[in-house]
Structure formats: structure tokens, C-alpha cells
Amino acid sequence: GQNIDQPTEMTATEGAIVQINCTYQTSGFNGLFWYQQHAGEAPTFLSYNVLDGLEEKGRFSSFLSRSKGYSYLLLKELQMKDSASYLCAVRDVENTDKLIFGTGTRLQVFP
């Protein structure tokens, strides 16, 4: 079966660092994506990992361990505008771009 797990909700303080974890069990693996989604809006692409290791992009970093079926998204220097849902998604089969999404982690940043 296909299963992607993320915490439902997290809270953090402005200026802090937060790590959002994602574990997956899928029939195949061809890349892991993180998207940000503000309530009622379209998801926007944050990061893509296909090899093990850390990908850094400004205040956001994403890590992947394929052997553990595990990824995390690290957000540094949190800002109020980072309050949103963060969606982990796996592309499970080669030659198709179908994404399997987790239910998302709703992050609230407090001043």
C-alpha cells in the first residue's frame, strides 16, 4: 500500500527553527517533494529530493533518507508568513509523475 505520515499540527515561535518530519511507505520511489499551502490557496513548490542528503534553499532545507523512508523539512528564522500547511509528496513510480500526498502538517507561527 501507499502511506505517507506527517504530524497533523505544529506550533513555533517567530525567529525559531522548526523541523517537519515525513515518513513514507510506497510501492516505489522516484523523488520526494515538499509543498507549502496557505489556507484556500494553491500549493507552491518548496523542494525536491531524489538522492539521500540535504538540499538547502534559503531559509528552507529538506533532507532525505531513502533507506529509512524518511524526510524532513527544516524552516529557519521563522516568520509569521510561514504559517501554512506543509505537504510531503512522493512520486512512486518511474515514467509517471503521479504524486502521492500526505495529509499535510499545519504550522502556526506565534510572535
* Positions in the binding site for another protein (CB under 8 A): 31, 33, 35, 40-45, 48, 87, 89, 91, 96-104
> Which of 18/89 has CB closer to another protein?
89
* CB neighbour class for 80 (10 Å; exposed up to 12, middle 13-18, buried from 19): exposed
Q: How far is CA 80 from CA 31, 83, 101, 107, 108, in A?
A: 29, 6, 25, 10, 8
CB of 33 to another protein, least distance (A): 8
What is the smallest separation between the CB atom of 71 and another protein, expressed in angstroms? 15
To another protein, the closest distance from the beta carbon of 96 in angstroms equals 4
